[in-house]
Amino acid sequence: MGAAYFYHLTRRPLEVTLLQLLDKALAAGWRVAVRGVDAARMDWLDARLWLGPEDGFVPHGRAGGPHDADQPVLLTTQSACPNGAVCVMAVDGAEVTPDEVQALERACILFDGNDEAALAAARIQWKTLTAAGCAAQYWSEETGKWQKKAEA
């Protein structure tokens, strides 16, 4: 039974936080699907991930290729996880269902705290997931360090 972790981004851009979370997930031995809603935005993230952390790169690919099942990190706009992901990182308002949260090790929902629409969508997603009995944590970086602010 997994949990949903909500990351309220206010200081660091998405690509920086995503790199940190991917590094932790890969260190745990997890396969990850990064789920977005817009193909062009996923292409942009793909380019940023190739720049990777300063001491290496994030092994990943874009969904739709012949080697999707081999990718440790797969960037996609679909709900399917052909790479066998046990962690989904949802960006830009991509949906994660209660059934998925229950089946995964972790669902990470990253949202822009400076965007009112993104905040509203994250609140709805929190309510939907917690009402369905999913464990959830809310993390904020407002002080400059990630702090857990709520848990359900």
Full domain range(s) for residue 10: 3-151
- Mean pLDDT confidence for 42-63: 84
In CATH, what number is assigned to the domain containing residue 103?
A: 3.40.50.10110
Find the helix or strand (DSSP H, E) in which 130 lies: helix 116-131
Looking at residue 65, what is its pLDDT? 87
Please give the residue that has the higher pLDDT: either 56 or 142. 142
Burial class of 71 by CB neighbour count within 10 A (0 to 12, 13 to 18, 19+): buried
Query: If we measure between CA atoms, which residue out of 11, 32, 10 comes closest to residue 21?
Result: 32
Please give the share of the chain, as a percent, with pLDDT higher than 90. Answer: 86
Confidence at 51, pLDDT banded by 50, 70, 90: confident
- Quote the number of domains for the chain: 1
Confidence at 58, pLDDT banded by 50, 70, 90: confident
Residue 124 has pLDDT above 90, yes or no: yes
Structure tokens at 73: 């990190």
- How far is residue 23's CA from residue 21's CA, in Å, rounded to a whole number? 5
* Cβ 45 vs Cβ 36: under 8 Å: yes
- How far is residue 44's CA from residue 15's CA, in Å, rounded to a whole number? 10
Residue 55 has pLDDT above 70, yes or no: no
* Cβ 25 vs Cβ 127: under 8 Å: no
Looking at residue 52, what is its pLDDT? 65
Global pTM value: 0.94
3-class DSSP state for residue 146? coil
Average pLDDT score, the chain = 93
Looking at residue 49, what is its pLDDT? 87
Q: What is the pLDDT of residues 1-49, one digit of tens each?
A: 799 999 999 999 999 999 999 999 999 999 999 999 999 999 999 988 8
- How far is residue 131's CA from residue 129's CA, in Å, rounded to a whole number? 5
